[in-house]
């Protein structure tokens, strides 16, 4: 966790507490967090199945591809 007294943390808190920061953050937050929530809970993304960073990156890429394919299939069902 970031320290409360860290200058960068304080600067970011200031930025996010402004009206502009709240507007920007409100647009960003739900879409990003939702994807990670689905990746972790629905698609069993709590851990990687391969060792080494490079192999874990491949594992993550495969999960992202699977997530995007599932979204494309669901969009197609809705639009047919």
Q: Is 52 domain-assigned? A: yes
The answer to whether residue 42 is domain-embedded is no
Alpha-carbon gap, residue 18 to 60, rounded angstroms = 35
Q: Print the domain residue range for 73.
A: 47-80
Identify the band that residue 34 occupies on the pLDDT scale cut at 50, 70 and 90: confident
In a domain, 59, yes or no: yes
Amino acid 36: pLDDT: 77
Structural domains counted in the chain: 1
Closest CA to 36 of 75, 67, 12: 67
Domain presence at residue 61 = yes
> Would you say residue 53 lies in a domain?
yes
Asked whether residue 26 is domain-assigned, the answer is no
What average pLDDT does range 24-37 have in this prediction? 72
What percentage of the chain exceeds 70 in pLDDT?
A: 81
**Per-residue pLDDT tens over the stretch 39-58:** 777 766 677 778 899 998 99
* 16 falls within a domain: no
């Amino acid at each position: 966790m970031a320290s409360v007294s860290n200058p960068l943390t304080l600067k970011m808190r200031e930025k996010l507490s402004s009206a502009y920061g709240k507007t920007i953050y409100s647009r960003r937050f739900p879409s990003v967090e939702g994807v990670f929530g689905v990746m972790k809970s629905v698609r069993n993304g709590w851990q990687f199945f391969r060792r080494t960073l490079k192999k874990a990156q491949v594992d993550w890429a495969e999960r992202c591809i699977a997530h995007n394919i599932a979204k494309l299939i669901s969009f197609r069902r809705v639009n047919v």
